[in-house]
Structure 1
């Protein structure tokens, strides 16, 4: 007769079959029946992946599926702003041939960027007699041009004091870098063809630069050494890690780190010609340089994303999530997006994009 909350893990196991809706449903049903609780289950909480939706629909009709609010919020952000939009490919129309040649000659951003491959700049030293092991042939192609990224893996025993300095705990840094390996249902349902409004196009161009900068901070011995040295000089304890599709807030963390490291980045771009780089390397570094407009837009994007970040933190499992907290977070975010008092036009337009998807995933969805 008494109602009380009691949380307990009664079973934990791996699932080694194909993650189809049928297989998941069958496995869940068998396990719940073996525990003698199948007809006592009232709800299952999961993300919105098609396979899990299908699996829940194949269970007893009285079992309700509750869609993670954090997954919905993830889709709101990703599918509002086109974080992972595909590049528009040039068609085969002869009128585009000249454009293709120009892109191949001048090197567009997309020439050095690929979402499915590592974006690597030719980071070898300018001496002809290079030392260390050379890793080559990471070909990156797009829009009529291609580049080969070359990285030198120099002897780690001959590092300078600045390189040896610990900026971030190595273990946590490795964990953050492993975000690239995450591939779960949260990587699905992502719209890679979000309509390219002015703001979405600005985001796409900005993120191309930011992702290459993050890659260079790890893969280029010259650039990474410069960044680490100046982090010590400016006393900035931040690490640049590439974002990943399955966690929208990894993009926010990348932008947040860049803002904190702005003095270092500005120094890198201002002093790039003092580095031991060849002309082609300097040209590529110039391509990803963040100008004043980029920094201004990055700041605007960061300020609009911040409430979504803290909403995600509030609803995370680390902070004892509840329906009440989720409801509060979603409505605070909605209130933020409907507030049009800002004089910044970019912020106004970004809020409009968010508001449309908020209604799609939270207020218009019958689930």
Structure 2
């Protein structure tokens, strides 16, 4: 019976599936005399398995000294809220280990004090509260405030993917609609005087409540598309293909095709897709059936704007994106266009070596990089779209329908803007994918990525950039500085110590930051170095002149004045200084090597014996995730468990199922 229950959990099946007529007959044929497990027995076994694996988790974590966590909230279709905590640590070989610590319903208001109390309670129940080093979460006000309600100080790490998403969306006005007047008119900013905090909070809420409706594994990829022809005779100009503007499409798990753990293996050579085909990356979206709060604080206006070079960059971007979305929506949800488009694609594929094997898609506010995916597919479809507008007569449209369609035709200027946006968004898409991985340490990479984007991409003016692209980069640069320095500066300052233990991160730290970090590590972990060094050296060993000099500049006058502590303090200081110097040299050599795999995990695995004390600290600081993607991956599982076919599943059963699936899928 246990195997049957485990199969139900792993596949997200209903408890009575083995008693369905077809499956029951097959099992009787394959295994004569087999008696299917009853749903009541499944329920009982589920509960006992949950307690068993919860106890096993406690035993595992009892042997771990430092644990980082991520947390997030999710609401199902019934608006039932759930809280998830995921734990992260590095094993002896510096391999990243992740597990769901707790998945539970949250039946209270989402106030900071209530969230903080619940998190601490759950961590205390697991006997790991004192082991928690950092909490990675998004930047919603209630998440920021919960740290004030914990009984001990725990560092907050901002979800870097979330910050990069906010940077792009708010810098370029990706989700701002057009003004009431033409773009040729001066925008009356006083009419849209929405504070920066309100605007950011509105978009923050959209990213926090990621809609994950549907089958995350592609087990039920029966997307329900609207078969209605959007070109009815009564359709007005502004309604063409855009009657349900906010009913965006959302994919099953994520725009970028991460592995099941969230990301690709760091250090692997990133090759392009094989062959001469435009492959689908599995990021076609499904309808978002969960109401998000993404409209709070966003400046919106329903009127179109003109494609004019005299307008601001933000207005031109907003106009082109709206036109793309309306055209994609028009094509995707019309039988007339779908059938005609299919013929155009077949004709194109027969005449070209590069085949189009993907579909048009819409972006959504709560999906990182989804705008890039939309524009990428849109650009691939350019010859098809151009051909569609040249052959509108072949579709037997009415005059009004034809005129309405031609209002969505893309000019060369609009296509140029699409290309510039892809060029600007590309580094951010790849950055988010990199720091969303779970098979390698990511917190140390976060600062490296941000500073390389800032210094190498945004601040570097290339000869072929062009005036518009320079303006786009300037807008992004200003917003990136705002988020990483002003608004969430404290959280990004916390990333410096994590970057220190990542060879890539170390390479972008200033000498002042390195010195400050080493000073912080030296004082906060002096007992660690003293204890280890005491087993290797005699307390009577004489201190060198170098030791005395280092103590004097480190301000250790209180230790130097006491002969009892003199030797141990100076020895630990000297030991740390020497090991830190050795680490910087080894990290520099590691980065200059020709090897393809330059991950921090490989570096510390190879050098942990040469850097015995720093390797202990590295294992602690590198365990922290740079994003809250692990929590959101858990919500992908929960969304599938709570799909339409299992709408009556209760909160406890869903929570236990998600917890158990995480444990069963990681068992070997």
Give the TM-score normalised by the residue count of structure 2. 0.41
Instruction: Find the counterpart in structure 1 of residue 165 from structure 2.
Output: 74
Indicate whether 1:276 and 2:390 are aligned.
no
Q: Structure 1 residue 352: deviation in Å?
A: 0.3
User: Equivalences for 1:308-347 in 2 at 5 Å?
Assistant: 308-317=428-437, 320-334=440-454, 335-341=456-462, 342-347=464-469
Structure 2 Cα separation of the partners of residues 239 and 271 of structure 1: 20
CA 182–337 in structure 1, closer or farther in 2 if over 3 Å, else same: farther
Instruction: Please say if 1:122 is aligned against 2:246.
Output: no
Deviation at 1:62, TM superposition (A): 0.7
Compare CA radii of gyration and give the structure with the larger one: 2
> Is 1:229 the counterpart of 2:350 in the alignment?
no
350-359 vs 243-252, greater mean Cα deviation: 243-252
**Structure 2 counterparts to residues 156-305 of structure 1, below 5 A:** 172=282, 176-178=285-287, 180-181=288-289, 187=294, 192=299, 198-235=312-349, 236-305=356-425
Residue number in structure 2 paired with 1:55: 146
Structure 1 residues 23 and 184, CA gap change in structure 2 (3 angstroms): farther
How much does 1:61 deviate? Answer: 4.4
Counterpart of 2:102 in structure 1 is 12
Change (3 A) 1:329 1:232: farther
Q: Could you tell me which residue of structure 2 aligns to residue 105 of structure 1?
A: none
Count how many residue pairs are aligned between Structure 1 and Structure 2.
Answer: 303
Q: Structure 1 residues 296 and 87, CA, compared in 2 at 3 Å: closer, same or farther?
A: closer
CA distance in 1, matches of 2:447, 2:316: 31
TM-score normalised by L of structure 1: 0.72
> Which residue of structure 1 lines up, in the alignment, with residue 39 of structure 2?
none
Partner of 2:343: helix, strand, or coil? helix
Aligned to 2:490: 366
Rounded Cα–Cα distance in structure 1 between residues aligned with 2:361 and 2:241: 23
Distance 1:281 1:20 in 2: 51
Hey, what's the Cα distance between the residues in 2 that align with 1:232 and 1:281? 25
1:304–1:350: 8 Å Cα contact kept in structure 2? yes
Query: C-alpha deviations, 1:90-124, integer Å up to 9, x for none?
Result: 7xxxxxxxxxxxxxxxxxxxxxxxxxxx9x97335
Q: Which runs of 4+ in 1 moved over 4 A?
A: 1-4, 139-142, 145-150, 181-185, 187-191
Residues in 2 aligned to 1:84 and 1:288: alpha-carbon distance in whole angstroms = 19
Does the CA-based 8 Å contact 2:161-2:368 persist in structure 1? no
When the two chains are superposed, the root-mean-square deviation of aligned CA atoms in Å is 3.5
Tell me the equivalent position of 1:351: 473
- Secondary structure, aligned partner of 1:11: strand
Distance 1:9 1:343, change over 3 A: closer
Q: Which has the higher contact order (CA 8 A, sep 6+)?
A: 2
Aligned-residue offset at 1:59: 1.7
1:308-350 Cα shifts (integer Å, max 9, x gaps): 1111111113563512322222122112011112341110100
